[in-house]
A and B are shown apart, each in its own frame.
Chain A
Amino acid sequence: MKYLLKNGAVWTKRNRIIKDLYIDGDRIVGGFSTNEADRIIDLTGLEIFPGFVDLHCHLREPGFSKKETVESGTKAAAKGGFTTVVAMPNTSPVLDNPWEMESYLKYLEDKATVRVLPVAPLTKGRQGKELADLGSLRSLGVRFASDDGNDIQDAFLMRSALSYASDHEMTVLSHSEVESLAQGFIHEGYLTTEYGIKGISSSSESIAVARNLLLAKEVDARIHFCHLSTKESVSLIKLGKEMGIKVSAEVTPHHLYFSDLDVIPFETVYKVNPPLRETEDRKTLKAALLSGVIDVVATDHAPHTKEEKAKTLSEAPFGISSIEIAASIVNTCFLDTHLLYEALCYKPYQILGEKNDLEPGDLADVAVFDPNRKYTVSADNWVSKGTNSPYFGKTLQGEVCLTIRGGKIVYEKK
């Protein structure tokens, strides 16, 4: 198919240019005559971004298809403007060997609406005991490794894992956490004191960030920090960058939008790990994203079933489902399309080691965004199977209206 996207503001190489964009097959092309176009779409007043990249989501397959499937999760991602998503390995079974990973990659080709990059576990079964077969997984094209929510507690093994991953040019995605300080359910602070709820201390994250940074430095590994939530972690990342460590970092939409003062006590929809922290933390995270200390926004989209989230605060699982509205949340927080480009396109493509400048020859992965449209988030047209969203009823500004993946329209707002 040939598409002509007319009059939009095209984001390319950190510039914004009003021009027409030509798509032929799966590629951006230099041009063709108007009457050759199968469809001409007028995008006056809209922003045309390279397709968004989510470096952190949970698609739940194999093992937890009641929460989400590759099909439903990638449809939700397409609605959110994402054309590439990085899927965490907390599946059942954990895909820690090349034969299972190979058949999973085939399954993705069949079911996924957008490109999915699966993450290898660092250790077998994510058990934190023995290293996984990262070499063979890398040769299948897997670029990231992580034990996801279970940070390797043993520092010696973590250092080995970082070293082994870097040997195969894999980036380690680090959910940094000292487990003994993270046995609670919400941020340790005002609410835990007031209501007698077990808390998760800020130090549970920042201590582990410090440890993992220094280990990465020692073995010259590339490390990416997931969902940072504390101001102390931000200071450490800044220090790490000054020290020349190969480090990047992400923040989630919910840590930018909410603080612990927004949490309704005992409401499980706010139960997320790392927890929603204090106003000061939120301010610091926003400033760090603007200054580039934090590189990207990643969703940590974590869908769960209604039944699971209907359990008690102690029993319900951690997680917020947000991939389909992530760009709207970020835009609402900053009202800054340049930041959106940096945090969801430019920097994440850099971390992937790829380029997408919407130039002739580039793959036609495109997200069209209306930065001015306001809407109220509703469960009615929700795409993800996970309805665990604290955003229902909130009014957001900015909405994805069209997503193109490899030259195919994968989402179009009606």
Chain B
Amino acid sequence: MVTQAITAPKRGIHSIREMSTNDIERILDLARDFKAGKAINKLSNKTVALFFSENSTRTKLSFQLAATKLGAQVLDLNQDTSSISKGESLADTVMTLQAMGADCVVVRHNQSGITQYLQKYVTVPIINAGDGWAEHPSQCLLDLMTIREYKRFNGLRVLIAGDILHSRVARSNKIALEKLGAKVEFTGPKILMPPNTQKALWPESLTRTDVLILLRLQKERQTQGLIASLDDYHLMYGLTEKNLELLPEESLILHPGPVNRGVELAESVLEDHRCKVQEQVTNGVYVRMALIALALEGRGIVEISA
């Protein structure tokens, strides 16, 4: 049985596409304030449900920590042991979480567009923690927060390198950075570029790059017949020590993690002063605090004073 979907005004946090630059800046400002020690303590009776049906350690822990820091309870639904494995539909599952009293549901799933779909069935806000190949708003926003600590967006030259086709991070970042006035280029193996996508020259483009975002290569791309070998990938498309020399001194290197050492980047890149991977992880918690707080504010549950 499928329950009738309700139609309701825009709720939840689903995609960068539907955010204005003001929305983005408000989130980044709030995340910055949280990082600087701002506290809101009205969430002690609130519950944030985590519904992650794809493997994810860091995003899930980051959301969990963010909810805890806001004083909320965390309800963790593990798909392997949940009723989803007994055949319950995703819509029924989020409706159950809502009925149990969850005030907000954080969803990670391998189907593109899933959070907008699920939002039609519940009134509590859903936060997208990564949907298929489509979007990864919280990862994008933590990248933006990290970049903003060093750079201005307007005119910024950003190069995103790797498996663009399957990357929700690349998609969200391109949309967000272009809204903010940056210039975004993609590069990677041709077969991993979506149709009709311009491909920047690699490694030549590195010399005019302000921010390099490297993407994680899923190792199963080799058995899927999409790449030849990890070694070949590293030599042809990776940030090798030699390629690193092309990158300007004051540029930034970002990576959504987890990193494949020796595949998308050489081991030594992680020690380079331009590499901000650890700061990204730190900022991720503050960005997710902001997303949870704003999602609940949208429901009138909390007030965030300026």
Residue A15 at the chain B interface, CB threshold 8 Å: no
> Which B residues are in CB contact (< 8 Å) with A199?
195
- A296 on the B face (CB < 8 A): no
**A312, B195: Cβ atoms under 8 Å?**
no
| Cβ contact within 8 Å between A311 and B2 | yes
Residues of B within 8 A of A315 (CB): 111
Contact B117 A196 (CB under 8 A): no
Q: Is A156 among interface residues, defined by CB-CB distance under 8 A?
A: no
Pick from B5, B133, B195: contact of A198, CB under 8 Å: B133
Contact between A196 and B197 (Cβ–Cβ < 8 Å)? no
Is A127 part of the binding interface, using a Cβ–Cβ cutoff of 8 Å? no
Q: B111 and A314: CB pair below 8 A?
A: yes
Which residues of the partner chain B approach A312 to less than 8 Å between Cβ atoms? 90, 111, 113-114, 117
Asked whether, in the complex, the Cβ of B1 is within 8 Å of the Cβ of A197, the reply is: no
Contact digits for A290-304, partner B, Cβ 8 Å, 1 yes 0 no: 000000000000000
Q: What residues of chain A lie closer than 8 Å to B171, measured between beta carbons?
A: 195-196
Q: Do the beta carbons of A190 and B196 come within 8 Å of each other? A: yes
We find that the number of chain B residues with CB closer than 8 angstroms to chain A is: 21
A266 to B2, CA, bound (A): 18
Q: Are A196 and B168 in contact (CB under 8 A)?
A: yes
B121 to chain A, nearest CB (A): 10
Known: A307-B2, A312-B90. A266 touches B195 (CB 8 A): no
Contact call A189/B196, Cβ cutoff below 8 A: yes
Residues of B within 8 A of A189 (CB): 195-196
Task: Give the chain A neighbours of B256 by CB distance below 8 A.
Answer: none
Smallest beta-carbon distance B53→chain A, Å: 12
Within 8 A of A (CB), among B111-138: 111-114, 116-117, 132-135
State whether A195 touches B113 (Cβ < 8 A).
yes
Task: Flag if B113 contacts A192 (CB, 8 Å).
Answer: no
Interface contact A196-B195, CB-CB below 8 Å: no
The answer on a CB contact under 8 Å between B134 and A196 is yes
Q: Does B181 contact A (CB under 8 A)?
A: no
Give the complex CA separation of A313 and B113 in angstroms.
Answer: 8
- The listed residue with most A CB atoms (<10 A of its CB), out of B5, B90, B134, B135, is B134
Interchain CA distance A199-B132 in the complex, whole Å: 13
Chain B: which residue is nearest A202 at the CB level? B195
When the two chains form the complex, which single residue of A195, A306, A307, A311 contacts B134, counting CB atoms closer than 8 Å?
Answer: A195
* Interface residue from A190, A311, A313 paired with B112 (Cβ < 8 Å): A313
Does A261 lie at the interface of the complex (its beta carbon under 8 Å from any beta carbon of B)?
no
Complex contacts, B196 vs chain A, CB 8 Å: 189-190, 193
Contact partners of B248 in chain A: CB under 8 A: none
Cβ of A265 within 8 Å of any chain B Cβ, yes or no, is: yes
Q: How far is the CB of A360 from chain B (nearest CB, A)?
A: 54
Q: How far is the CB of B166 from chain A (nearest CB, A)?
A: 8
Query: Chain B contact residues: over half helix, strand or loop, or mixed?
Result: loop
Interface of A is mostly: loop
A324 at the interface (CB under 8 A from B): no
Smallest CB gap from B170: residue in A: A196
Tell me which residues across on chain A come within 8 A of B90, comparing CB atoms.
312
B101 adjacent to chain A (CB < 8 Å): no
Partner of B5, one of A190, A193, A310, A314: A310
A357 interface residue (CB < 8 Å to B):
no
From residue A204, how far is it (CB to closest CB) to chain B in Å? 13
Interface residues of A in 182-198 (CB under 8 A from B): 188-190, 192-193, 195-198
Contacting residues of chain B (167-203) with chain A, CB-CB under 8 angstroms: 168, 171, 194-197
Proximity bits, A195-224, B CB within 8 Å = 1, else 0: 111110000000000000000000000000
Contact B197 A310 (CB under 8 A): no
- Smallest CB gap from A314: residue in B: B111
Report the separation of the CA atoms of residues A278 and B200 in the bound assembly, to the nearest whole angstrom. Answer: 26
| Complex Cα gap A184–B294 (Å) | 35
- List B contacts of A198 (CB < 8 A): 112, 132-133
A312-335 interface code vs B (CB 8 A; 1 in, 0 out): 111100000000000000000000
Kindly list chain A residues whose C-beta atoms are within 8 Å of the C-beta of B89. 311
Task: Flag if A192 contacts B2 (CB, 8 Å).
Answer: no
Query: Measured between C-beta atoms, what is the minimum distance from A18 to chain B in Å?
Result: 51
Residue of A196, A197, A310 with most chain B CB atoms under a 10 A cut-off: A196
Which residues of the partner chain A approach B1 to less than 8 Å between Cβ atoms? 307
> Does the CB pair A266–B117 fall under 8 Å?
yes
Shortest Cβ gap from A277 to chain B (Å): 13
Q: How far is the CB of B196 from chain A (nearest CB, A)?
A: 6
* Alpha-carbon gap, A193 to B164, bound state (A): 10
Nearest Cβ on chain A to B262's Cβ, whole angstroms: 28
Please list 19 pairs of residues, one from A and one from B, whose beta carbons are closer than 8 Å in the complex, sorted by A's number.
A189-B196, A192-B194, A193-B197, A195-B113, A195-B171, A196-B112, A196-B133, A196-B134, A265-B113, A266-B112, A306-B2, A307-B2, A310-B5, A312-B90, A312-B114, A312-B117, A313-B112, A313-B117, A314-B111
- Identify 10 new A-B residue pairs, CB closer than 8 A, beyond the known A195-B113, A197-B112, A311-B2: A195-B112, A195-B134, A196-B112, A197-B134, A266-B112, A266-B113, A266-B116, A312-B111, A313-B117, A315-B111
Q: Which 4 A-B pairs have the closest CB atoms?
A: A196-B133, A196-B134, A193-B194, A266-B113
Taking Cβ atoms with an 8 Å cutoff, the residues of A that contact B are 188-190, 192-193, 195-199, 265-266, 306-307, 310-315
